[in-house]
Amino acid sequence: MASHVPDIATFLTAQNAKGQLRFITCGSVDDGKSTLIGRLLHDSQAVLDDQLAAAQSESRKYGTQGDAVDLALLVDGLQAEREQGITIDVAYRYFETERRKFIAADTPGHEQYTRNMATGASNAELAVILVDARHGLQTQTRRHSFIVSLFGIRHVVLAVNKMDLLNYDEATFTAIADDYRAFARDLGISDVHCVPISALTGENVFTPAKFMAWYDGPSLMELLETVDVAAVAEEKPFRMPVQWVNRPNAEFRGFSGTISSGEIAVGDAIEALDSNRTAHVARVVGPSGDQERAVNGQAVTLVLDRNIDISRGDVLAAPGSGMAVADQFAAHIVWMSDTPMLPERAYTLRLASASATAQVTDLVHHVDVNTLDKLAAKTLQLNEVGYCKIALDRAIAFDPYVDNRQTGGFILIDKLTNHTVAAGTVDFALRRASNIVWHDMKIDKVARAAAAGQKPCVLWFTGLSGSGKSTVADRLEQKLHAAGRRTYLLDGDNVRHGLNKDLGFTDQDR
C-alpha cells in the first residue's frame, strides 16, 4: 500500500508540473455521457471508496450492467434529476492524471438546456462531443457543435461511443469522422479530433485500443492530456479590465484586475480606454508581492508612473492595439430567460468590468440551432440564438469575441427582476471610434480626372424596388465601357453583400 504513495518532494514537483484543462462534455440522453464521465472519474481514481460502494449497491438495484458496477451511477444526481424531470444543470467534476488536472463541466444535451450548455462552454478550452456510433451525427451533434463554436472553443474531440456494439467497425467510424470534419470546417472549428471508444468497456478511453488495431491515434485520455490549449491568449496584445482601484493610503494607488490577454512588464507603456491616456507601468504587484512581469490569467495590481484618471470599467491595453471603444456593436446572443427578448427594452449589460444600459436595436436574424438556418425574427425565446445589434448608453472598450473571450463576452441583466437573461459574444463595433481622423491625400479629384482624360460625373438611379434600376444602369455602363470610359457601378443589392452587409431595411439603416 505504502508503495503507491510517493514521497512529498516528488509529489509536489509532479503537481507543479501539471497543467490544467477546463473542458465541457456534451451529449444527449443515452449517448453514454454519464457512463463516460463515470469512467473518467473511476479510471483516474477520483472516486472514493464510499462513493463506489454506493454505486455498487445502486447498480444492483437500478443499474443496467447486471452485477458489474454501472459507472453512470457514479455521476450523482443526474439520473434522479432526469426521473423527476427537474432542471438538469451544469455539474462540475474534478479529477487528475499524471499530466494534467481536469475541471469538467458536465452539461445536459437537450435543446431545452442550451443555456446550461452555454454556461459550461463559456469557460471551457475544449469540448468532448459524444455520439452513439450506431446513429452517427444527429441534430443534437450539430447543435452542440454550433454552441461550441459560438462560445469560441477551439478544440473539439468527437467521441464516437458504443463501438463495442458495432464490433469495433472501422468503416462506421471513418464515415462518422469524415462527416464531422466537413461539418466542423463549415463552423470554423479549427482543431478537431475524432476518437472511437466504448465508455462501457473502457476501450480507448484510458487504455489504448485493444480491439481496434486499425486505429493508430491517441486514446481519449491521451488527447485530453496533450491537446495544446495554452499560448494563444499570451501572444495577443495586453488587456486588463480594471476591477478595483486600490488606494489604501496616499503613497499607493494601483489598478487591480485579471489579465485577459498578453503580458505586461515593469516599464511597458499602457493605454487606458476609454480615456485614451497613456502611462508606463511602474510596478506589477502579484499575489505574492512585486514581480517583473505578469501574463494572461494572472490577477495583479498595476501601479503607473503618472496619475491618470482610471476607474472600474476601464481597460488597460497595449497602446494602439486596436481595442474598440464604441456604443454600438453587432453580436450573437443566447436568450436565457423564460420571458422573451424585447427589442428596445433597456437591459443592464455587463462586459469585463464595465456596466452600461443596453438595448437590442435590431434583431438581424434568429439562428435555428439545429439546422443553422438564419430566420427572420422579431423576438427571441428561451434558448434561442440571435444575431443582433446592441446600442449602449455610453461607449465602452471591447474586442471581438474571437479575439478575446474576456473582453468580448457579455451578459444582459433584466433591470426589474435582476435575472441574467442573455449571454452574448461581440462580433464587431458598429460605430466608428471617435479617435479616427480624416487624412488629406495628395491625389485629388482633379488629378484623377486629368489622368483618366474624362470629366467626372455621378449618375443616381432612383425608383421603386423592382422598377428596373439595376438593369438600366447595367446597360448604360456597358455602353460607356464600350466607348472607352472608366466607370464603376455601385448597385444597392451588391453593396449589401459587402460593405453594407450589417445594414437592414429599416428607415435608419437605409
Partner 1 sequence: MISDAETRDRADAAMHGSEALTHLDRLEAESIHIMREVAAEFRNPVMLYSVGKDSAVMLRLAQKAFAPGQLPFPLLHVDTTWKFREMIAYRDAMAEALGLELIVHTNSQGVADGVGPFTHGSRVHTDIMKTEALKQALDAGRYDAAFGGARRDEEKSRAKERIFSFRSKHHRWDPKAQRPELWNLYNARVAPGESVRVFPLSNWTELDIWQYILREDIPLVPLYFAAERPVVERDGTTIMVDDDRMPLDEGEKPEQRMVRFRTLGCYPLTGAVASSAATVEDIILELLADRSSERQGRVIDADQIGAMEKKKQEGYF
Q: Which residues sit at the interface with ligand GDP, rule CB under 6 A?
A: 27, 29-35, 64, 72, 161-162, 164-165, 198-200
Residue 306, phi then psi, degrees to nearest 5 = -150, 155
Residue 27: contacted member of ligand GDP, partner 1, none (CB under 5 to 8 Å, by partner type) = ligand GDP
Residue 206 CB, nearest distance to ligand GDP (Å)?
13
Residue 254, phi then psi, degrees to nearest 5 = -130, 160
DSSP per-residue string spanning 289-355: EEESEEETT-EEEEEESS-----BTBEEE-TTS--EEEEEEEEEEEE-SSSPP-TT--EEEEETTEE
Residue 295: contacted member of ligand GDP, partner 1, none (CB under 5 to 8 Å, by partner type) = partner 1
- DSSP-H helix ranges across 63-134: 78-84, 114-122
Q: Which one among 14, 30, 53, 214 touches partner 1, defined by CB under 8 A?
A: 53
Question: Per CB under 8 A, which region of 142-150, 346-354, 374-382, 460-468 contacts partner 1?
Answer: 346-354
Q: Which one among 29, 166, 223, 295 touches partner 1, defined by CB under 8 A?
A: 295
Report in angstroms the alpha-carbon separations of 416 from 156, 177, 421. 38, 47, 11
Whole-angstrom distance, CA of residue 348 vs CA of residue 356: 6
Q: Which residues of 185-200 are buried (b: 16+ CB within 10 A; e: fewer)?
A: eebebeebbbbbbbbb
Binding string, 271-290, against partner 1, x = CB under 8 A? --------------xxxxx-
Determine the residue with CB nearest ligand GDP: 32
Whole-angstrom distance, CA of residue 422 vs CA of residue 384: 10
Contacts 24+ apart (CB under 8 A), 185-191: 187/145, 187/146, 187/149, 188/149, 189/145, 189/148, 189/149, 189/153, 189/154, 189/156, 190/154, 191/154, 191/155, 191/156, 191/227
Is 76 an interacting residue with respect to partner 1 (CB under 8 A)? yes
- Residues of span 226-265 touching partner 1 by CB under 8 A: 230, 243-244, 246-248, 252, 256-258, 263
Q: Which three cell numbers stand for residue 398?
A: 471591447
Is 16 an interacting residue with respect to partner 1 (CB under 8 A)? yes
Residues near partner 1 (CB under 8 A), total: 83
Residue 388 CB, nearest distance to partner 1 (Å)?
17
Is 4 an interacting residue with respect to partner 1 (CB under 8 A)? yes
Whole-angstrom distance, CA of residue 252 vs CA of residue 262: 25
Q: Which one among 29, 44, 79, 89 touches partner 1, defined by CB under 8 A?
A: 89
Q: Which one among 25, 219, 353, 383 touches partner 1, defined by CB under 8 A?
A: 353
Residue 122: contacted member of ligand GDP, partner 1, none (CB under 5 to 8 Å, by partner type) = partner 1
Is 420 an interacting residue with respect to partner 1 (CB under 8 A)? yes
Residue 293: contacted member of partner 1, ligand GDP, none (CB under 5 to 8 Å, by partner type) = partner 1
Residue 39 CB, nearest distance to ligand GDP (Å)?
8
Residue 31: contacted member of ligand GDP, partner 1, none (CB under 5 to 8 Å, by partner type) = ligand GDP
Whole-angstrom distance, CA of residue 112 vs CA of residue 140: 11
